[in-house]
Structure 1
Amino acid sequence: MTVPIPAELEKCRAEADRYRLLAEQSTDMISRQTPSPDWTYIDVSPAVERLLGYKPEELIGTPGRALFHPDDADNLQQRAESVRYVKGMYTNVYRYRHKQGHYVWLETTSRTIRDKKGQPQEIICVTRDVTEREQAQQSIRRLARVVEASSDMILFCSPDALQLTYLNESACLTLGADRDNPGALSLPELFDAATAQNELKTALLQAATAGSWEGTLSMQLPVQQRHAEVREIIAHRNRRENMKVEYYSIIARDITIKRKAEEEAKRHQLEMAHMSRLLSVGEMATGLAHELNQPLAAILNYSNGAQRRLDEGADDPVGTAKRAIELISRQARRAAEIIKRMRSFVRKTEYQRLRFPINDACVDVSKFLHQEAQDHSIRFEMDLDPSNPTLLADKIQIEQVLLNLMRNAIEAYSDCDKTPRPVMLSTRSTGDELHIRITDKAKGISAEALNQLFEPFYTSKSTGLGMGLPISRTIIETHGGQLWAESDGHSGTCFHLKLPLKDS
């Protein structure tokens, strides 16, 4: 005799079968475990095989705690950062050992089932594999640590309003900004008005079009005495929304220390250049005294002659005095010009870029060396570019280099019996470059000496310090140019000087 199953019981069985079917078909692993410290498996859904490689029967009756990574086993008790608690449910992210021996990242949401007296009966868990998510987040965290530790300034800004949304530690220090309120600054505020309107706007447009921009943009920082430059702008796109730019990342560099070092090096260079000019004038003292003595002697002669004629009763005393005064005035102007050239050359100046005709500078230096050249029977031969190129540079420093090279050419004849004794100076402009040659026809320089010629303190002179040519090369390189020498070792030497004309 078959006993009929009550309809209520049949309904309960049907619901139980439906829930079991859902549990068995779920891609998440559903398990029941004891509330004891070892969390022994009571039951587990078939999804465990896909997640951990075990069959359900292999886990039932085994302690779940034994499979935790040692560093994650106490997450729940210690309320680690990976654990969240909401309305009686715990969510824990941890590493769990796969059957093959490696660890996978799992996320488990668990709830404790209690009896009417509140005593725990079992723990129901729903677990999923979050390995890919955790690895991606770890990569992001590693990247974030790199960004934070970077000595470069890294800033994020919105694409429309260009409000800053993130500053790394280096950017906060350099900008003197509040880390918790990056939006208080906008990107254009970090540049002067012209740069923000032109160069920055162009750079952002290029980044938005090509994905990135590289170059140099000088920043105008709110913190005094600090300097920084933007080196790169990257446009980050939202692939889900028609590839629109989601935000820009800006990579900049604090160049305060570099700028101070450059300024210190420039100051040191100016000091050395000034010392070199003083030494050059000291070496030329005899010639300069002789050159200055000529107009002074002429003034004395004209004065004595006029006085004698007047004493002897000249027929035209007014005319005689007038002619004497004219001659005296001409010689006085000549003496004044000699002193002016000398004072201009030796005065201590800051680095000053200005436009000047290079041919005029060559002529001025040759006049400065006129007496020394005459004393050594030297003849200057000029072959100057007819276009008289205009150079944008520090005139005093360029003249100093020309003077050093021309004096070297004069002195090359000091232990040489050759005649005639020409020092040839030529200037030529070729597109965006100026080429100056200073050539002598003396004995030349040996290959060994040529290799050491621009080394500090190397000199072939008994009284020289060996700093003229090194300082000259430094000056020319500071101006973006080159200075070198060529010689066959027996028939003369040619110094080549190249300077850019593109900024002129």
Structure 2
Amino acid sequence: MQKRSDQQKAQLFESHYNAAQFKSSGDGLKSDNAAGINADNLSVPGVVKILEGQEQAKLQHLKQHNLNLLNNYAPAAIAIFDRNMRYLSASARWISDFNIQGEVLGQSHYQIFTNLCSACIDYHRRAMAGEIITADNYRFEMPNGEVRWLRLEMGPWREENGEIGGIVIFTEDNTQRKKAELESEVSRAKLQAALSSMHDAVYIANDHGEMIDFNQAFVSFHRFQSKADCPLHFAEYRTELDVFLMNGEPARREQLPVARALTGEAASGVEYTLRSKRTGETWIGHYSFAPIHNSAGQISGAVVNARDITQQRNMEKLIQIKRIQLDEANQHLLVRQTAAAIAHELNQPLAAVANYTSVALHILETDTQNLETLRYALTHAEQQAQRAGKVMHELMALLYKNQSEKEPLDMPAVMAEAVEIALGNCGSCRQPQLIWQIEPALSPVLGNYLQIQKVVVNLIANAIQAMQSIDAAQATLVLSIAGFVEDAALQHFCVSDSGTGLSQKAINEVFQPFYSTKATGLGMGLAISRTIIEAHGGKLWAESNPGAGASFHFTLPVTK
């Protein structure tokens, strides 16, 4: 409905009132011929009065008919009131919009709407005084509590003598539009809150590439000082920025995020290099974009998300440099560890070979007739030499991560042989009291015989050396085998001594390569042992005993 001037509204109000004044005489109307009147008797005074009355009646009937048409078909709600706010006329749209039941003509507006607010009554009073009132968003509460939003026009109508006879009210129900506006405002507020809270640059464009909205992070991302500095069309950013693809080529207009999204493309993780033409600063943007579709499925805009990843990329380059340097250092360390591991693993069997050959030489020098002892010494020397070869083979297989052959192992037998080897290698070392704690009916474990034996020999040898400085009566070595409480698929082994023990610092570092509590130790035995156990799917760890000494635990998977 277009807005009218005050003069037009006053004329319209008056015409409605005049139409409402005319009452149809209806059934008594007849045509001129039916009344027997013709042109010959028009000069008779009585006949003239009759004709005037008939014409007036026809005019009244026509005006009433027109008013009825207006009431029935007017697109707006219209009501005419007298000075006491009684209904003189009401359109069908008025009756429908305000849910009025029953006859309304002659009824008081205040009896139909008993809950009218003081502001509404004040509008009526002002219109009765001659004021024309308009309101685009008038809040009107229905008797049932429902709220309507109205476009309202209200003003006086006048009698023939110019006196105000009442008021005319036009209303248009804009409730749905108002609700949509309120919902849009809420959505807008939510969008603004979401945009403001985001650290990434976000901007929304229409189907022409014009900026609809963007956040403060967008301003910072593009190196502007404020939102006012930002161009309102994405094409204008080419005057502020140079944009390059990650291969270094300048990005064409159709390769930019908004342009790609407006063609229907959606993507994430697309990177561009940007350079400010004002300052020369360059940075890397990580983009995600997608088209916006309207209810008809047509592309109506685009949304773009961008993040500055320059610092991240610089850090990645630095990490890459450090990784190369670390790899070089690890290669040097591996060489040292390999040499130390070979020396450590060959030390025991070669020492045993030296001991047995020394005995053999001594026999030859002192008693050539003791062939049995000589045979024993040379046989064991040969065995230790063969063991040294096997150790070397298994160690190289482990260092080069080759798959070593595994088989079911009877761990009590493996540990018993390891005890014999360790005690044989200790020479004149004081031997401790040995205690076995073996749980019955244990399943075999899966492992490489020589590698697992090497671990047990190393743990037992360390335990024996840790007890050399204590009283012989207190030196006790406990070897235990049991199921692992935390995982039935594993078996638990423990080598425990009553020696000098380990500090918490030593427990934390004892498995590190080259760490040793012995003055002449290489510090590789436990590191290699942990590597072997973990390669078998188990775990190796150390604990301090409550009284004295230390315990070394390890687990191995049982055969299925």
User: How high is the TM-score relative to the length of structure 2?
Assistant: 0.42
Decide which structure has the larger Cα Rg and report it.
2
